[in-house]
Amino acid sequence: MKERRVVVTGMGAISPLGLSVPELWQGIVEARSGVGPLTLFDPTGFDTRFAAEVKGFDPANFMDRKEARRTDRFVQLAVAASNEALHHSGLKITEANRDEIGVFIASGIGGIGTLSEQLDVLRARGPGRISPFLIPSMITNLAAGQVSIVSGARGPSYCLTSACASSAHAIGEAAETIRRGWAKAVIVGGSEASITPIGIAGFNAMRALSTNNDQMATASRPFDATRDGFVMGEGAASLILEDAEEAMNRGATILAEVVGYASTSDAYHISNLSEDGEGVARAIRLALKRAEITPDQVDYINAHATSTPAGDPVESLAIKQVFGGRETAPPISASKSQFGHLLGAAGAIETVVGVLAMQHNLLPATINLTSPDPACDLDYVPNIPRPGQINVVLSNSFGFGGHNVCLVLKRFVA
């Protein structure tokens, strides 16, 4: 039996660079930073007083206002991004096909905002005043649940949680679900809304966040020698994956093909990458092998690169193990330099950026890279995007606990 091919036919994004995929791409083209002072809560007394927030988002533009009041922000963002992706794809969900369309929406943390608010209610007013919507609003699978309800899709549906690798895992597993013939299409992505007092305080306690409050807009600086931690971001991204034959039969515009996926574990540390880069390099090699792509065929890598002192050199080392040094490795960029770290949604939004880069043959920049780290000595497309023929894109995502995911996408040829 001929193996099913899996293609991308639609994308949606709600991000610190804008409330749609075109706005996201415009921000990438302009090499603009989405980082600024915290406004979602008063950060007085916090070590970090800035983040990459989604601005101007009104959930009532995407879902029933009453329902929006009952759902956490991460669910609202997921519904909005998925609505855009479905519209972009032209895929109509009907009685005839709804049982064959799945929904995989990942989240690393879920409704931490709602949980925090209701804990305050519990302490101040007692257990009798807790909202009955606390649990169905905060649990991580409810983004997938709400997208299923809003869209009408009744195929395979669940949430993957593997910290910051969550939505990359979701994309890989959605593609495999289609290859197995268990679904003809999947709405897949990730959503996160963790810019809350407990979220910022928790990552501050780990010393994971940048505390560069005097240089907020440039605080996310992957591969730079002066980096001091990641910048918290929020948002959601969704993609429509389809069986290629089904997509062509309905006349869909095909944006890219998902050709490779691999997942490995470092089995090393609860929050740090293995210092030898072996787990990351193994994920990259496996994904390329499954894609039947050789390293020299890769035109662009969207790195996980969070701007932490320990993480960026390990990823660079792993890339060199697979691709060689600066002369042979492809151009690399760190999208988190522009919109921060979306945690469980990072893999999805960075996959969207990779597809857009391929569509426009433009290598996104790693902004704020002014003092290169000698340990990070590859081509990171510093500060300014540049033209480049892109036919194969590789996207890396890593999560606390040692989870490594690599996705390979290429330009579709029928």
Model confidence pLDDT, tens digit, residues 338-388: 999 999 999 999 999 999 999 999 999 999 999 999 999 999 999 999 999
**Residue numbers annotated as active site:** 164, 304, 341
Predicted pLDDT of residue 304:
96
Tell me, letter by letter, the H, E, C secondary structure of the chain. Answer: CCCCCEEEEEEEEEECCECCHHHHHHHHHCCCCCCEECCCCCCCCCCCCEEECCCCCCHHHCCCHHHHHCCCHHHHHHHHHHHHHHHHHCCCCCCCCHHHEEEEEECCCCCHHHHHHHHHHHHHHCHHHCCCCHHHHHCCCHHHHHHHHHHCCCCCEECCCECECHHHHHHHHHHHHHHCCCCCEEEEEEEECCCCHHHHHHHHHCCCECCCHHHHHHCCCCCECCCCCECEECEEEEEEEEEHHHHHHCCCCCCEEEEEEEEEECCCCCCCCCCCCHHHHHHHHHHHHHHCCCHHHCCEEECCCCCCCCHHHHHHHHHHHHHCCCCCCCCEECCHHHHCECHHHHHHHHHHHHHHHHHHCEECCECCCCCECCCCCCCCCECCCEECCCCEEEEEEEECCCEEEEEEEECCCC
Residue-level pLDDT at 44 = 97
Q: Name residue, tokens 């996980």.
A: 304
Report the CATH architecture of 261-410. Answer: 3-Layer(aba) Sandwich (3.40)
pLDDT tens digits, 53-109: 999 999 999 888 888 889 999 999 999 999 999 999 999 999 999 999 999 999 999
How high is the pLDDT of residue 1? 59
Please give the pLDDT value at position 266: 83
Mean pLDDT of 115-123: 94
> Which residue has tokens 């039969």?
249
**Quick one: pLDDT at residue 2?**
72
pLDDT above 80 for 170: yes
- Per-residue pLDDT at 268 exceeds 90: no
Give the per-residue pLDDT at 276: 87
Residues contacting 254, CB < 8 A, separation 6+: 7, 8, 9, 244, 247, 248, 412
Region(s) of the chain under CATH 3.40.47.10: 7-249, 261-410
> Which candidate, 139, 186, 194, places its Cα nearest to that of 164?
194
Q: Whole-model pTM?
A: 0.96
Mean pLDDT of 233-240: 98
Q: What is the overall mean pLDDT for the chain?
A: 96
CA 34 – CA 263 distance, rounded (Å): 30
Mean pLDDT of 232-242: 98
Q: How confident is the model at residue 196 (pLDDT cuts 50, 70, 90)?
A: very high
CATH topology of domain 7-249: Peroxisomal Thiolase; Chain A, domain 1 (3.40.47)
- Banded model confidence at residue 120, pLDDT cuts 50, 70, 90: very high
Residue 269 has pLDDT above 90, yes or no: no
In this model, does residue 10 exceed pLDDT 70? yes
pLDDT at 275: 85
